Amino acid sequence: MRTTVTVIKADIGSIGGHLKPSEGLLKLVKSRVEAEKGKLIIDCYVSHTGDDIAILCTHNKGKNSSEIHKMAWDTLMEGANLAKKQGLYGAGQDLLKDAFSGNVKGLGPAVAELEFDERPNEPFLFFAADKTDPGAYNLPLYLGFCDPMHCSGLILSSKMAKGFRFEIMDVSYTEKDRIITLNAPEELYDIAALLRDPERFVVAAVYSKESGEQVTAASTTRLHNIAGKYVGKDDPIMLVRVQGNFPATGEVLSPYALGHYVAGFMRGSHNGPLMPVKLNSTISYFDGPPVVSCAAFCVHEGHLTEAVDAFDHPFWDYVRQEVSKKGIEIRRQGFFGNAMLPMSELEYGGIADKLRGLEERFVTKD
């Protein structure tokens, strides 16, 4: 059976600053989406990571279905209205445009979609991150699909021997989708050369070279490119099919033990380590740290199993401790140097105004 998995997520309001949506808001979104089961969609899973609500649904309408996107958009709009009524912080934060025109892309919400012929067993992972941007997945995808130090299947499994094809997007180009296709392992150094700049180059999709199938779909929304100013961090989502021709679940998860530094954290303007957290986690220290959650599923004839929390294991408790140490370490240098992002990525025009004002007070001396 040909199945589509669509995830659409947005920050439509949260309690106590950018921490977590209200129970009422989650309940509303869930009830609206569940009402479409057996009609527009086959199955669904509504969750939150930090202050972002994600609508994951299965259906057979293919990618970019205007009906599916409209259902999600209308639900998020209705949610934003409830958030306003509840007085939630940042109500409707990520809904940047008023009118829906066939697709949520470019309107603010993040979207990731996979369409595939279901294998007899079809396991996949749903990642959701908060207080960071789409480039956060660059390193874990590079390591999980290209490096046998993490993906032992590259040397052990004949089904992965050919490697993978990467579609990388230049997210600084806002007119259209600007994409380059590169092959691993042949063009590994070219892939690395682009992915080292995660604010500009983002992995949008990965394909198996063995079967040609799409393995991974990640959101590429950069809110500041849509709004023209800082309006919140992009907080990316990603779908990854696993096992068989694709990396095993544990190979995809392995790089998250690094707690690599990503852009985001307080005011979306700092670098902080990415902490793998349990499902439905909240946000705390310095409006962070940047977090990523992972729900594992099997899908059969469009029906989802219950979600398994991939980062709910004693191993990840240890990783969280280590990541906390990295978080405190970089916070010790406050706003200096690498702790804060370059000017182009900072929140607010405030600092630009300040620097402009100071510019006039400079004098030149021999």
Q: Which residues bind Mg ion (CB under 5 A)?
A: 11, 18, 50-52, 90, 130, 232, 235
Pairing between strand 164-170 and 179-184?
A: antiparallel
In the list ligand 13P, Mg ion, none, the entry touching 248 (Cβ below 5 to 8 angstroms by class) is ligand 13P
Give CA separation, 221 vs 11, 142, 199, 364, in Å.
13, 20, 11, 43
Instruction: Look up residue 100 and give its two tokens.
Output: 């829906």
| Residues in region 17-36 near ligand 13P by CB under 6 A | 18
Pair type for strands 43-49 and 123-130:
unpaired
Nearest to 276 by CA among 241, 307, 240, 314: 314
Catalytic residues: 11, 230, 233
Locate the DSSP E strands across the chain. 2-10, 43-49, 52-59, 110-117, 123-130, 164-170, 179-184, 201-208, 214-218, 237-241, 261-264, 270-273, 275-276, 291-300, 303-304, 308-309
Taking the least distance from each CB to Mg ion, the nearer of 108 and 198 is 108
Q: Of 70 and 278, which CB lies nearer to ligand 13P in the complex structure?
A: 278
Is residue 222 a contact point for ligand 13P (CB under 6 A)?
Answer: no
Show the binding pattern over residues 126-165: x = contacts ligand 13P (CB under 6 A), - = does not: ----xx----------------------------------
Report in angstroms how near the CB of residue 233 gets to ligand 13P at its nearest. Answer: 4
**248 scored as a contact of ligand 13P (CB under 6 A):** yes
**Binds 224, which of ligand 13P, Mg ion, none (CB < 5 to 8 A, cut-off by type)?**
none
Does 43 help bind ligand 13P (rule: CB under 6 A)?
no
Segment contacting ligand 13P (CB under 6 A): 35-43, 181-189, 200-208, 230-238? 230-238
DSSP conformation letters of 156-171? H-GGGTT-EEEEEEET
The β-bridge relationship of strands 52-59 and 291-300 is unpaired
Q: How far is the CB of 231 from ligand 13P (least distance, A)?
A: 8
Residues 260-299 that bind ligand 13P (CB under 6 A): 266-268, 287
Nearest-5° angle of CA 256, CA 297, CA 201?
45
Measured from the CB atom, is 62 or 348 closer to ligand 13P?
348
Least spacing, CB of residue 310 vs Mg ion, in Å: 20
Of 33 and 266, the one with the shorter C-beta distance to ligand 13P is 266
Q: Of the two residues 50 and 302, which places its CB atom closer to ligand 13P in the complex?
A: 50
118 phi, psi to nearest 5 deg = -60, 135
Cβ atoms of residues 122 and 298 within 8 Å: yes
Size of residue set near ligand 13P by CB under 6 A: 17
Interaction partner, residue 267 (Mg ion, ligand 13P, none; CB < 5-8 Å by kind) = ligand 13P
CB-count burial class (<10 Å; 0-12, 13-18, 19+) for 31: exposed
The span from the CA of 237 to the CA of 148, in Å, is 25
Helices 66-86 and 23-34: crossing angle, nearest 10°? 150
On whether the CB atoms of residues 92 and 98 are closer than 8 A, the answer is no
Task: Report the alpha-carbon distance of residue 242 to residue 208 in Å, rounded.
Answer: 11
- Which residue(s) pair with 237 in the sheet? 128
We find the least distance from the C-beta atom of residue 79 to ligand 13P, in angstroms, to be: 15
Residues in the chain: 366
Residue (267 or 326) nearer to ligand 13P, CB: 267
Residue among 52 and 115 whose Cβ is closer to ligand 13P: 52
Least Å distance, CB 92 to Mg ion, is 11
Least separation in angstroms between residue 51's CB and Mg ion is: 4
Task: Kindly state the smallest distance separating residue 301's Cβ from Mg ion, in Å.
Answer: 33
Residues that bind ligand 13P (CB under 6 A): 11, 18, 50-51, 90, 93, 130-131, 232-233, 235, 248, 250, 266-268, 287
